[in-house]
Amino acid sequence: MSNSLLTLTINGHEVHASPDASIIQAYAHADNAITANVGCMGQGVCGSCRCMIRKEGEREVRTALACETKVEQGMQVSFIDYFIPEHIQYYDITAIGDGWNWLEDTQKAFPEAEHCRHCGGCNRACPKGLEVENGVAQVVAGDFGAAADTFDQCVMCNLCTLSCPEHIRPNHLGLFARRMKAARTLRPVDLMRRLREIDSGKMKVEFDGELAS
Amino acid sequence: MSEHITGIDYQTALANLRSSDLTMREDLPPQDELLRRFHPDYQDGARIKLPIGPNAGDYCHPELAKLLISQPLINDYDLSGAEHLNTDVLVIGGGGAGAAAALSATEAGARVIMANKLRIGDSNTVMAEGGIQAAIGADDSLQQHFEDTFKGGHHAANKHLVAQMVTDAPAAIRWLIGLGMTFDLAKGENNNGHLSRKRAGGTTVPRILSYRDFTGLEMMRVLREAVELDENITQLNRHPAIELLSDEHGRCVGAILYDLEKRRLILVHAKSVVLATGGSGRLHLQGFATSNHYGATADGLVMAYRIGAKLKDMDSFQYHPTGVAHPPHLAGALISEAVRSAGTKLVNGLGERFVDELLPRDVVAAAILRECREGRGVVWDGQVGVFLDTPRLIAGDPDVLNRLVTLGHIAHKCGVNPAEEPVMIHPTLHYQNGGIEIDGNGESCVEGLYCAGEVTGGIHGRNRLMGNALLDIISFGRRAGAAAATSGLPLKKVRGGVGHVHNLQREMTRAGLVSEVKAPVLYPNYGKFDLREHAGLQEQQS
Ligand SMILES: Cc1cc2nc3c(=O)[nH]c(=O)nc-3n(C[C@H](O)[C@H](O)[C@H](O)COP(=O)(O)OP(=O)(O)OC[C@H]3O[C@@H](n4cnc5c(N)ncnc54)[C@H](O)[C@@H]3O)c2cc1C
Ligand code: SF4
Ligand code: SF4
Ligand code: FES
């Protein structure tokens, strides 16, 4: 392991970091107050450290999760803040009907989804390498099961939403499909039975002569 | 913990491991003695008595005590220009407990403001891997769940809270499914079949329900979406709470937030407050690395203690046996208990096993610390630890990495091929066992102050079982939110200030206590955040 430090730019500040460090660690050891774009610090699940990076000598800017990306000499990094876009449609999962109207429900909550131009912007943006564009097509086609699989490992970093020219919010569309599928169809028999036993008073906890109500 | 590391250098230890027949050392002290001598909670300097405040005379970790008895971040003078907001319920902290509380409060008809230090979801909840306990198996019962939990917590838990939580569990799972959370099904079964159940250390039957090995991510992304789509919840991201507000009767009637974007203070008046700020791993107690998220800095405990809430078991923490020890920049990251359940052995620098890997977490952690302290650990790049023998596991069960996806992931980040080299591990600060005392509705002894999740104490006693924290946050989050929604004074009558802060300061003066520390600290010290500097506030001599 080499001990010489690398130099890179993070949010406009020059930062020196050990070659083993992730971007988030390099940032943490730099001299400014860190109050955003960090959460799980390395597990790669919270999606808050989303950033754009440009490597030295390359023109292309790509997106990444800073806690999963190692520093490189000459790298330029800008973090991207989190925001909730204004044009979102509110839906209430508990108010959505019995499941026969999935396609209509989808169209109501995500009217833009049908306009996907298959530009692939969302795929390029995804730091988890998910097939986002496919996922969008699956939801639109009503194949919620396939879409649920496609978005299985999504960390909701919102990078695909940022990159979509049609304002589709692909990750939220994917989550909608996942949520619908669970809320409408997951009815585990063992859970149903246990709930019934509890509700009917057949099963309860007893201790020290007192009953838990 | 790392004052003078002695041990066996990595290359030698690796050779020892490879030639080892994995004999077990025979000299492990009895559990009580092991814990007393090696568990961090029992070490010299791991607890002191709190001199003042609601818990005067009770034990507390000294680092935490420094924060509980400290100076506030702001004084009255700073509040003059602050903006005012009103709401029925103010929820502080947007992890799983806060989200559950906010959703339940609006279900009960309240308007909610949710204040988050980071962004909603950036929390310990999203990081949970293993799963959530609920006694739904035919071979299981609420009673067994109750007894396992109580025993696991060394008989220190509040039985009423435990009974209530385990009874809530199946309904909590149903509620989560209703919001769209998915759970794994037993092999080969469909959505109307049985849920898949895993076994946790310290339980009598398999009781852990999960979604793959990222249960917390699945839970949090569903909860976050539900909160963001609820028009009765106003989200304030990057608005840490820095103090609670009290009225002249000592009731909690809101909080002071700091808007990081606009660099100004906001006073939120509320009929009641739900505090759900999570744990304290990022305080790095006794120099330990941690598995916790960046914002876990005990803010809730500090604010609650100042307003007069009673705490419990403030000297009891969970050190998870298998945190990453090398490379240094990943130190503390969690390697799930599932890896040990799958049969992976712990091996010291001499190539010996030294503890039954499936004993409770506190015992295994103490045994590892003993190896390190007595010079049988592995030393590499200034880090000390023991080996988690993944090569042998994978040789015996080549498919195992398909089940333990995150293990492969984290080994890769460590620069290790787990089929060839072991991962080097060391206990990591994982969970705050104690916290604010609550009743069955999550209410503290301060009227109007409800609390839920890792910030509370009494549910897990002095040791928490895997899967009970995720249950706790849903069970008590929902109860606290619902109770908060239907309590408190009419908003018109609510007027709050920081009189309670002055009371504690007067107590400090009377006891001759001087402190330069300002709290809550909001971010770990390497976050280099100074509120007064950030907000451009002038230092006032008071
Ligand atoms: C790596 C890891 C794995 C785990 N695995 C499991 C598991 O498998 N099963 C299980 O049951 N438990 C597990 N746990 C424990 C469990 O995840 C947590 O105890 C639980 O999620 C805590 O939820 P919470 O809502 O109380 O706190 P958190 O989820 O931590 O949320 C607290 C929130 O409050 C915010 N906050 C803090 N201070 C302030 C402030 N001053 N103002 C405003 N907001 C503030 C934080 O930023 C955070 O967003 C694990 C924990 C970790 C770290
Ligand atoms: S699908 Fe979108 S939100 Fe999800 S991980 Fe990929 S880019 Fe991020
Ligand atoms: S970025 Fe938007 S328009 Fe382009 S492929 Fe993805 S979803 Fe379709
Ligand atoms: S800090 Fe959570 S994904 Fe990077």
Same domain for A127 and A179, yes or no, is: yes
Same domain for A115 and A138, yes or no, is: yes
Helix/strand/coil percent split, chain B, to 5 = 35, 20, 45
Using a pLDDT cut of 90, give the percent of chain B over it.
87
Enumerate the active-site residues of B: 320, 340
- Lining ligand 3 with CB less than 6 A are A 116-122, 132-133, 136, 163-166, 168, 170
| Candidate from B137, B222, B238 with C-beta closest to A35 | B238
Q: Inter-chain contact A39–B527, Cβ cutoff 8 Å?
A: no
Same domain for A102 and A179, yes or no, is: yes
Nearest atom within ligand 3 for CA of residue A113 = 7
| Candidate from B166, B193, B294 with C-beta closest to A205 | B166
Q: Which of A79, A103, A120 is the last residue of a domain?
A: A79
Q: Which spans in B45-128 are helix H?
A: 62-68, 96-107
**Is A105 contained in some domain?**
yes
Q: Tell me if B123 CB under 6 Å of ligand 1.
A: yes
**Is A194 contained in some domain?**
no
pLDDT tens for residues A1-33? 446 899 999 999 999 999 988 999 899 888 788
Nearest to B218 by CA among A153, A129, A39, A144: A153
**Interface subset of A 17-36, CB within 8 angstroms of B:** 18, 20-22, 25, 28-29, 31-36
Q: How many residues does chain B have?
A: 542
**What is the rounded CA–CA span in Å between residue B63 and residue A38?**
24
Same domain for A139 and A171, yes or no, is: yes
Q: Which of B159, B329, B330 to mutate to test the interface with A (most CBs of A within 10 A)?
A: B329
Q: Give the pLDDT confidence score for residue A210 in this predicted structure.
A: 55
Q: Tell me if B480 CB under 6 Å of ligand 1.
A: no
**What is the rounded CA–CA span in Å between residue B368 and residue B370?**
5
| B162-192 as b/e: b if 16+ CB within 10 A | bbbbbbbbbbbbbbbbbbbbbbbbeeeeeee
Q: Tell me if A67 CB under 6 Å of ligand 4.
A: yes
Which residues are B90's β-sheet partners? B113, B273
**Is A199 contained in some domain?**
no
**What CATH number did the domain enclosing A112 receive?**
1.10.1060.10
Q: Is A13 on the interface with B (CB under 8 A)?
A: no
Same domain for A73 and A145, yes or no, is: no
pLDDT tens for residues B436-484? 999 999 999 999 999 999 999 999 999 999 999 999 999 999 999 999 9
**Is A196 contained in some domain?**
no
Same domain for A58 and A119, yes or no, is: no
What is the residue-level pLDDT of chain B in tens, covering all 542 positions?
A: 445 679 999 999 999 999 999 999 999 999 999 999 999 999 988 999 999 999 999 999 999 999 999 999 998 889 988 999 999 999 999 999 999 999 999 999 999 999 999 999 999 999 999 899 999 999 999 999 999 999 999 999 999 999 999 999 999 999 999 999 999 999 999 999 999 998 887 788 999 999 988 999 999 999 999 999 999 999 999 999 999 999 999 999 999 999 999 999 999 999 999 999 999 999 999 999 999 999 999 999 999 999 999 999 999 999 999 999 999 889 999 998 888 888 899 999 999 999 999 888 999 999 999 999 999 999 999 999 999 999 999 999 998 888 787 888 899 989 999 999 999 999 999 999 999 999 999 999 999 999 999 999 999 999 999 999 999 999 999 999 999 999 998 888 888 999 999 999 999 999 999 999 999 999 999 899 999 999 999 876 54
Residue B495 near residue B241 (C-beta atoms within 8 A): no
Residue B443 φ then ψ, to 5°: -85, 140
Q: Inter-chain contact A179–B529, Cβ cutoff 8 Å?
A: no
**Is A202 contained in some domain?**
no
- Rg of chain A on CA atoms, in Å: 23
Q: Give the pLDDT confidence score for residue A211 in this predicted structure.
A: 47
Q: Which spans in B282-381 are helix H?
A: 299-307, 337-341, 361-373
Q: Which of A57, A79, A101 is the last residue of a domain?
A: A79
CA A141 to ligand 3 centroid distance, Å: 15
Same domain for A72 and A152, yes or no, is: no
Q: Inter-chain contact B170–A191, Cβ cutoff 8 Å?
A: yes
Same domain for A57 and A135, yes or no, is: no
Name, in order, each residue with C-beta under 8 angstroms of B397's C-beta and a sequence gap of 6 or more.
B342, B343
Q: Is A94 on the interface with B (CB under 8 A)?
A: yes
Q: Tell me if A128 CB under 6 Å of ligand 2.
A: yes
CA A202 to ligand 1 centroid distance, Å: 34
Q: Which of A5, A27, A40 to mutate to test the interface with B (most CBs of B within 10 A)?
A: A40
Q: What is the 3-state secondary structure (H, E, C) of A92-146?
A: CHHHCCCCCCHHHHHHHHCHHHHHCCCCCHHHHHCCCCCCHHHHHHHHHCCCHHH
Nearest to B219 by CA among B295, B130, B145, B298: B130
Q: Tell me if A164 CB under 6 Å of ligand 2.
A: no
Same domain for A128 and A70, yes or no, is: no
Same domain for A154 and A106, yes or no, is: yes
Residue B405 near residue B23 (C-beta atoms within 8 A): no
CA B121 to ligand 1 centroid distance, Å: 9
All structural domains of chain B, each given as residue ranges with its CATH number in brackets, are 2-38+319-430 (3.90.700.10), 76-316+433-493 (3.50.50.60)
For the entire predicted model, the pTM comes to: 0.97
Same domain for A68 and A100, yes or no, is: no
**Is A32 contained in some domain?**
yes
**Is A104 contained in some domain?**
yes
Q: Give the pLDDT confidence score for residue A3 in this predicted structure.
A: 62
Residue type, A87: H
**What is the rounded CA–CA span in Å between residue A6 and residue A21?**
10
Same domain for A75 and A126, yes or no, is: no
Host domain of residue A24: 6-79
Nearest to B66 by CA among B355, B290, B220, B283: B283
For residue B200, the distance in angstroms to the closest alpha carbon of chain A comes to 19
Which residues in chain A show pLDDT less than 50? 1-2, 211-213
Q: Inter-chain contact A208–B159, Cβ cutoff 8 Å?
A: yes
Mean pLDDT, all residues of chain B: 95
The Cα angle at residue B105 between residues B100 and B107, in degrees rounded to 5: 95
**Is A67 contained in some domain?**
yes
Q: Inter-chain contact A18–B526, Cβ cutoff 8 Å?
A: no
As for how many domains chain A has, the answer is 2
